[in-house]
Amino acid sequence: MTRVFAFVDADNNPQVGVEWRGVTYNFTLAWDLFRQIKLDATAPQFPFVELLLESGLFYSETFDELFETLMEFRSIKDLRIRGHWQLRAPVQRPQKVIGIGRNYGRHALELGNAIPDEPVFFAKSPSSIIASGDRIVLPKDVGRVDYEGELALVIGKEGQNIAPEQAGEYIAGYTILNDVTARDIQKQDKEKKLPWFRAKSYNTFCPLGPWLVPAGEIADPQDVQVTVRVNDEVRQNGHTGDMLFPVNEIVAYLSRHMTLMPGDVVATGTPEGVGPLQPGDTVEVEVGDIGVLRNPVR
C-alpha cells in the first residue's frame, strides 16, 4: 500500500514522504530529480502534501511513474529517508475540517441521541490539528474529554452539488482522525442550543494521520475496521459498514451545502465506545490498513 506523509528534516525543512513498495522515500527530493529528467522546470514543487493535492496528481499512478522512471536512470537508494526527521499531520492547515455526528446508530444511542434521518455535520478548527506522536493536551476546567476514533477522507478537487455516484472522483485519499471532544462543554452548549464548535476545537483536539493513503488503495471504504485502544485496552471496535450514511452520501450531502476544496478533511463518524481520556494515557486509533494514529495525553 502506498502511504504519503508530511515531515520536516533535520534542518527543519518541510518535505513530503511516501512509503512505496515497502520502502520510505523522500518524495519532495525524488520529484525534483524527476523534473530534471523530464527537463520541465515549470513543473510544480511539492514540499507540502496540500500542494500535491491541489495539483491533481495525488494518485498511486503518480508515485509509480515517478519511481519507475527514476529507476531507469539511477539508483533510488539515496532517496530513502534516513537520519533525524519529525512526522507532521499529512494535511496541516486545510480550509475546512468537517465532522459527521451520530453516523453510527449505537454511538448515537450511547449518548442519548436520536438516530438521524440525514447527516449531522459540524466543524472543527484547523488549528486543532496535530500529528501522530504529538500530545493531546487536556484543558483545565472543561471536565470530561473523550476520544472518538474515525476514518477520515481528504478532498482532492473542488466540487459542489456532487452526485453520490460521482463522489469517489472527489476523494483524494483516506487517513485517520481522532475527534477529541470536550464532552461536558458540548453538553452545556447543546442545552443552550449552541453549536458544538468550541467543544471540538481546543488546541490538539484533532490528531490526524499518520499517513494519507490514495483513495484507489482502499478497495471499499465501507469495509474497514475502526479500533481505538487506550493504554493498550480496546475501547472502540467498529466497522464502517455500520455507517448510517456511507462515504459517497456524505460527500454528496456536504457538497449541497458548501463548496468542497482540495485538502478539506471530512471525519466520517465514530462507532460506539467513546469514553474519557486522562493525563498519562496513550490513545491509539487503528483504521484498516491505513495505519495507527498514536498520541499521548497530558
Domain hosting 9: range is 3-87
Low-confidence ranges of the chain (pLDDT < 50): none
What is the reported pLDDT for 263?
97
Say if residue 127 is in the same domain as residue 251.
Answer: yes
Strands (E), 33-104: 86-88, 97-101
User: What CATH number is associated with residue 264?
Assistant: 3.90.850.10
Say if residue 78 is in the same domain as residue 179.
Answer: no
The amino acid sitting at 76 is I
Say if residue 102 is in the same domain as residue 77.
Answer: no
Say if residue 51 is in the same domain as residue 14.
Answer: yes
Q: Say what the pTM is.
A: 0.96
Say if residue 63 is in the same domain as residue 126.
Answer: no
In the 8-state DSSP scheme, what is residue 231?
A: T
What is the reported pLDDT for 114?
85
Q: Could you identify the residue written with the cell 498511486?
A: 60
Are the C-beta atoms of 288 and 176 separated by less than 8 Å? Answer: no
What is the reported pLDDT for 106?
85
Say if residue 45 is in the same domain as residue 150.
Answer: no
Say if residue 136 is in the same domain as residue 279.
Answer: yes
Say if residue 275 is in the same domain as residue 150.
Answer: yes
Q: Which of 87, 117, 146 is the last residue of a domain?
A: 87
In 3D space, the residue among 37, 42, 15 whose CA is nearest the CA of residue 28 turns out to be 15
**Counts for the chain of helices (H) and strands (E), in that order:** 7, 19
Q: Which of 69, 87, 105 is the last residue of a domain?
A: 87
Query: How far is it, in rounded angstroms, from Cα 23 to Cα 185?
Result: 44
**Residues listed for the chain:** 298
What is the reported pLDDT for 147?
98
Domain count, the chain: 2
Say if residue 145 is in the same domain as residue 168.
Answer: yes
Residue 150 pairs in a beta bridge with 177
What is the reported pLDDT for 217?
97
Say if residue 40 is in the same domain as residue 184.
Answer: no
Q: Which of 87, 111, 141 is the last residue of a domain?
A: 87
Residue 208 CA to its chain's centroid (Å): 5
